[in-house]
Chains A and B, each alone.
Chain A
């Protein structure tokens, strides 16, 4: 039985079912009418956390042990008083490596840390007050810190990514940060303006847990790989129908295996040619293969956002799930070889996470 947490424009939906036969149903809904940017279940505690932005009352993080029951508002999700900006939204929540630690990223670029399983949070000041911050520029989705990639087994090492700023690395648990975008080519700016090291519209980064120095990145235009923990990046997007897209997923069993969902970009941002396909590499990006059996093959112009693609398990049994802004959720129980639509008619999907 698989459990999916689907964040949408109109609330959080929990889907439960069997990825093998596509029989999923909605077993809980929360935050009706409110935007749920992201929801996840901490595998260590079993606790659910959701990022919710009320159109009226602003962004919050909520926690619960039962998504069909009462939720508790977390404390500390705000920017420092006395500044010009207010928190706009929380994009992502990720378990850290230390006991009870979670991280949350949002707009306009803050990183929050919780040391009590998500009940209280504190702003990471070194990144918020980084001397370069005045030069950070937003992407179309705002100045969003959307990627947080801890290093398995080492709570001191952390990678975050901000659009449209780029990748940041810390080796001391977030006390100091350095940008790391060497090799990434921002083709959306003129060639003679590409020297700026912090103008990179990173869309998503995933780390290979079995080889933590291996990372895959979906960029605003380009798919990249790093073999040195994010110090440098190599373009591996050749062979894809488009190098634009939002999410990337890796197979935990194989650091050479990754999945992307190309979109015609950047002005269109829909599946190329009206055909929905997930593209797979098994050789670290040297070659890519379409995986679309069971996915819409014609007249399907879907948009899949950066947090709307996730996996569960590994290897031949890798389960893959993604949702679209048109309200569909698709799943595969065999590493992308075959797909089935497991939900339809949901509100626009903002995030999909396996629980």
Chain B
């Protein structure tokens, strides 16, 4: 299973920074994370299942998109983008 790392406030909503999650793609992993922790429903993925515009996902340190492949030993980091105003 992939090792998913979160930052606050997502880590607080999920009860910790690190989570073992199974999924073949970034989209699958995030959906499985949401399923395991319904408290983040709507936070990382919108109601249509799309990664929110200002959330970045990295797989083994490389920026990923919904379709990026994820292996069982991969590291998936979910971070807020460097945006705002």
Minimal Cβ-Cβ distance residue in A for B81: A56
Minimal Cβ-Cβ distance residue in A for B9: A57
Interface size class of B (residues with CB under 8 A): 10 to 19
In the complex, how many angstroms separate the beta carbon of B41 from the nearest chain A beta carbon?
8
In the complex, how many angstroms separate the beta carbon of B9 from the nearest chain A beta carbon?
8
Whether A58 contacts B48 by the Cβ 8 Å rule is no
Interface size class of A (residues with CB under 8 A): 10 to 19
Contact partner of B48 among A33, A55, A86, CB < 8 A? A86
Tell me whether A81 and B84 are in contact in the complex, defined as CB-CB below 8 angstroms, given that A55-B54, A58-B42, A58-B43 are known contacts: no
* Interface check A85, CB cutoff 8 A: yes
Minimal Cβ-Cβ distance residue in B for A35: B85
Give the contacts of B8-33 with A (CB-CB under 8 A). Answer: 9-10
C-alpha spacing A84/B9, complex, angstroms: 27
* Interface check A290, CB cutoff 8 A: no
Across the A-B interface, give the 9 residue pairs with the lowest CB-CB distance, nearest first.
Answer: A86-B46, A78-B47, A56-B80, A57-B43, A56-B54, A55-B84, A86-B48, A86-B47, A79-B47
* Interface check B66, CB cutoff 8 A: no
Minimal Cβ-Cβ distance residue in B for A80: B47
Across-interface contacts of B83 in A (CB, < 8 A): 55
* Interface check B52, CB cutoff 8 A: yes
A: which residues have CB within 8 A of B? 9, 33, 55-58, 60, 73, 77-87
Minimal Cβ-Cβ distance residue in A for B54: A56
Between-chain CB contacts (< 8 Å), 13 pairs: A56-B52, A57-B43, A57-B55, A58-B43, A58-B52, A77-B42, A78-B46, A79-B47, A83-B48, A86-B48, A86-B50, A87-B46, A87-B47
Whether A81 contacts B47 by the Cβ 8 Å rule is yes
Minimal Cβ-Cβ distance residue in B for A83: B48
Minimal Cβ-Cβ distance residue in B for A87: B47
Q: What string of 1s and 0s marks CB contacts (under 8 Å) between B43-85 and chain A?
A: 1101111101011000000000000000000000000110111
B: which residues have CB within 8 A of A? 9-10, 39, 42-44, 46-50, 52, 54-55, 80-81, 83-85
C-alpha spacing A325/B24, complex, angstroms: 46
Contact partner of A84 among B42, B43, B48, B54, CB < 8 A? B48
C-alpha spacing A57/B9, complex, angstroms: 10
Across-interface contacts of B44 in A (CB, < 8 A): 57
Minimal Cβ-Cβ distance residue in A for B52: A58
Whether A81 contacts B55 by the Cβ 8 Å rule is no
C-alpha spacing A55/B43, complex, angstroms: 11
C-alpha spacing A85/B81, complex, angstroms: 21
Tell me whether A81 and B81 are in contact in the complex, defined as CB-CB below 8 angstroms, given that A57-B55, A58-B42, A58-B43 are known contacts: no
C-alpha spacing A9/B85, complex, angstroms: 9
In the complex, how many angstroms separate the beta carbon of A32 from the nearest chain B beta carbon?
12
Whether B48 contacts A82 by the Cβ 8 Å rule is yes
Known: A57-B52, A86-B46. 15 other contacts (CB 8 A): A55-B54, A55-B80, A55-B83, A56-B80, A57-B43, A57-B55, A58-B42, A58-B43, A58-B46, A58-B52, A77-B42, A78-B46, A81-B49, A84-B48, A86-B48
Most chain-B CB neighbours within 10 Å: which of A9, A33, A60, A73?
A73
